[in-house]
């Protein structure tokens, strides 16, 4: 008797499909694979930035996430060794509308397909990213598996089990896993066309100790541009480790995962720094950790904010209050502004949904913003925050 049982690995796979995006509720979205083959499980989010896909893929804050780019032409300017925010890619994969075309850009040294493959990241193209984004906006960011197999073979049951079993980002500490393992003296300022990355800067400079919870490099470059020298310490650095560096100020970086989980080891250290009246500046995860150290709470957002044109308003009693900054954002958790203690004020608010975007202590030299003033990708309206921090040291 011939075996009439269909091959379970190809059954139900549409002709020509070499990649699958499988949501934890069982929704299967088929497309064409690029980058690495294999599968990965994480939270499916969307990013609305029109440029900077390489910076987005290498932003360590995207660990544990699969990114749907709403901009349809991803990969069209290729890849290079300069436009990266960390040595490796950290997003698990990406979902795009159009197939990857041959790069058209004088700065490109490699195609995006090959770049993704070399970093073990999975891509799926040919997806109706508008419909997918609407779905995420309405139902929230789902857990999902992204899978790529050039032969079109997928064990859908096993992949679905994987998507369902993934616990989700809530309660997950990822900062430790992406943080650099040891102390590093940071070297280099922002990039300029024709010059590349700037020099460290000379002379007596305020010394910023930056805690790396999964930092984007452009933050350190902007601290240098604002006049600081920067020493980077790992996420698990103790109060004693930090003070041994004799900081003039401490910077708390962005990073992946749930701030409440990372706060278990980070918050006691930040509390001690606040008690010692060390000046502090926090960005994104760093902002959330600073708020937790103040006694406030963080919440998981419905679908999060990720893009390069998010309007944020300066509020309260401060210079240029009422002014709107166009900002770069990447966060899925937020500080609950209603839980701030009496000595901490809200300084910035999202004009999209009113969520908290900045805090400042009234009795200490400590402040933080939820968005990314270093941009990369994105607008540079908010560079003044680096000047405010570094200019206030010493
Ligand atoms: N960019 C970040 O630092 C993100 C912070 C945190 N992981 C969040 O999703 O809200």
**9: pLDDT strictly greater than 90:** no
Note whether residue 280 is domain-resident. yes
- Band (pLDDT 50/70/90 cuts) for residue 5 is low
Note whether residue 7 is domain-resident. no
Catalytic residue among 94, 284, 310, 357: 284
Domain count along the chain: 2
Confidence at residue 198, expressed as pLDDT on a 0 to 100 scale: 87
387 noted as active-site residue: no
Q: Are residues 137 and 119 part of one domain?
A: yes
Please report how the helices 217-225 and 384-391 are oriented relative to each other, as an axis angle in degrees rounded to 10. 60
Q: Are residues 159 and 54 part of one domain?
A: yes
Q: Are residues 258 and 329 part of one domain?
A: yes
Tell me the average pLDDT across 189-217: 91
Per the annotation, does 330 bind a ligand?
Answer: yes
- Band (pLDDT 50/70/90 cuts) for residue 132 is very high
Please give the number of the atom of ligand 1 that sits closest to the Cα of 286.
3
Q: Are residues 330 and 187 part of one domain?
A: yes
Q: Are residues 179 and 159 part of one domain?
A: no
Q: 233 near 269, Cβ under 8 Å?
A: no
Confidence at residue 91, expressed as pLDDT on a 0 to 100 scale: 98
Mean pLDDT across the chain, nearest whole number? 96
**55: pLDDT strictly greater than 70:** yes
Q: Are residues 142 and 288 part of one domain?
A: no
Q: Are residues 132 and 236 part of one domain?
A: no
CA-based end-to-end distance of the chain: 85
The percent of residues in the chain predicted with pLDDT above 90, rounded, is 92
Distance 153 CA to ligand 1 centre (A): 35
Per the annotation, does 285 bind a ligand?
Answer: yes
Take residue 45 and report the two structure tokens written for it. 């989010």
* Closest residue CA from atom 4 of ligand 1: 331
With the most atoms of ligand 1 within 8 angstroms of its CB, the residue from 302, 307, 333, 350 to mutate is: 333
ipTM for the assembly: 0.97
Cβ of 286 below 6 Å from ligand 1: no
Q: Are residues 96 and 55 part of one domain?
A: yes
Per the annotation, does 61 bind a ligand?
Answer: yes
**3: pLDDT strictly greater than 60:** no
**4: pLDDT strictly greater than 70:** no
Q: Give pTM, 2 decimals.
A: 0.96
Confidence at residue 370, expressed as pLDDT on a 0 to 100 scale: 98
Confidence at residue 7, expressed as pLDDT on a 0 to 100 scale: 64
Please give the number of the atom of ligand 1 that sits closest to the Cα of 253.
3
- Per-residue pLDDT tens digits for 250-264: 999 999 999 999 999
With the most atoms of ligand 1 within 8 angstroms of its CB, the residue from 42, 66, 259 to mutate is: 259
Note whether residue 14 is domain-resident. no
- Per-residue pLDDT tens digits for 267-310: 999 999 999 999 999 999 999 999 999 999 999 999 999 999 99
State yes or no: cis peptide before 130, omega within 30 of 0.
no
Q: Going by C-beta distance under 8 Å and a sequence separation of 6 or more, which residues neighbour residue 53?
A: 69, 74, 75, 94, 112
Cβ of 327 below 6 Å from ligand 1: no
287/362 Cα distance (integer angstroms): 16
Domain boundaries, position 287: 175-391
Cβ of 358 below 6 Å from ligand 1: no
- Band (pLDDT 50/70/90 cuts) for residue 111 is very high
In the DSSP assignment, the letter for residue 4 is: -
Tell me the average pLDDT across 96-116: 97
44/143 Cα distance (integer angstroms): 6
27/289 Cα distance (integer angstroms): 35
148 noted as active-site residue: no
Choosing from 165, 190, 216, the residue where a domain stops is 165
Confidence at residue 136, expressed as pLDDT on a 0 to 100 scale: 97
Note whether residue 127 is domain-resident. yes
Cβ of 214 below 6 Å from ligand 1: no
- Per-residue pLDDT tens digits for 82-104: 999 999 999 999 999 999 999 99
Tell me the average pLDDT across 205-234: 97
**317: pLDDT strictly greater than 80:** yes
Cβ of 285 below 6 Å from ligand 1: yes
Say which CATH number the domain at 274 has: 3.40.50.880
Strand ranges for the chain from DSSP E: 19-23, 28-35, 38-47, 65-69, 93-95, 122-125, 143-148, 184-185, 189-192, 196-198, 207-212, 229-234, 249-252, 280-283, 298-314, 324-335, 344-350, 356-361, 366-369
- Band (pLDDT 50/70/90 cuts) for residue 377 is very high
Tell me the average pLDDT across 97-124: 97
Q: Are residues 180 and 67 part of one domain?
A: no
**354: pLDDT strictly greater than 70:** yes
């Amino acid at each position: 008797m011939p075996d009439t049982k269909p091959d379970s690995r190809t059954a139900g796979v549409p002709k020509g499909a070499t990649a699958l995006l499988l949501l934890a509720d069982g929704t299967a979205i088929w497309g064409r694979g690029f980058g690495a083959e294999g599968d990965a499980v994480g939270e499916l989010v969307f990013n609305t930035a029109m440029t900077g896909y390489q910076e987005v893929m290498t932003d360590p804050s995207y660990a544990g996430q699969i990114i749907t780019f709403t901009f349809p032409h991803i990969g069209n300017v290729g890849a290079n060794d300069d436009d990266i925010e960390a040595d490796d890619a950290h997003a698990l994969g990406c979902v795009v509308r159009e197939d990857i075309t041959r790069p058209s850009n004088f700065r490109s040294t490699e195609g995006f397909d090959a770049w993704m493959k070399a970093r073990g990241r999975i891509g799926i193209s040919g997806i109706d990213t508008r419909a997918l984004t609407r779905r995420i906006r309405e139902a929230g960011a789902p857990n999902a598996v992204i899978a790529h197999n050039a032969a079109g073979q997928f064990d859908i049951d096993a992949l679905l089990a994987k998507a369902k079993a993934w616990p989700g980002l809530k309660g997950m500490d990822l900062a430790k896993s992406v943080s650099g393992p040891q102390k590093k003296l940071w070297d280099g300022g922002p990039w300029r066309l024709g010059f590349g990355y700037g020099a460290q800067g000379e002379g007596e400079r305020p010394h910023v100790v930056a805690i790396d919870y999964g930092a984007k490099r452009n933050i350190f470059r902007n601290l240098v541009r604002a006049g600081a020298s920067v020493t980077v310490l790992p996420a698990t650095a103790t109060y004693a480790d930090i003070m041994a560096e004799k900081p003039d100020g401490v910077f708390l970086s962005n990073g992946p995962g749930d701030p409440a989980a990372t706060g278990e080891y980070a918050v006691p250290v930040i509390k001690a720094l606040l008690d010692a009246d060390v000046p502090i500046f926090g960005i994104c995860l760093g902002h959330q950790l600073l708020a937790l150290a103040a006694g406030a709470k963080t919440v998981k957002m419905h679908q999060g904010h990720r893009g390069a044109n998010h309007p944020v308003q300066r509020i309260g009693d401060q210079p240029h209050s009422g002014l709107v900054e166009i900002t770069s954002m990447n966060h899925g958790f937020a500080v609950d502004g209603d839980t701030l203690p009496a000595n901490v004020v809200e300084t910035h608010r999202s004009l999209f949904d009113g969520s908290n975007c900045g805090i400042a202590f009234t009795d200490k030299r400590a402040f933080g913003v939820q968005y990314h003033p270093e941009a990369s990708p994105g607008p540079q309206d908010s560079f003044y925050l680096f000047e405010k921090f570094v200019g206030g040291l010493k």
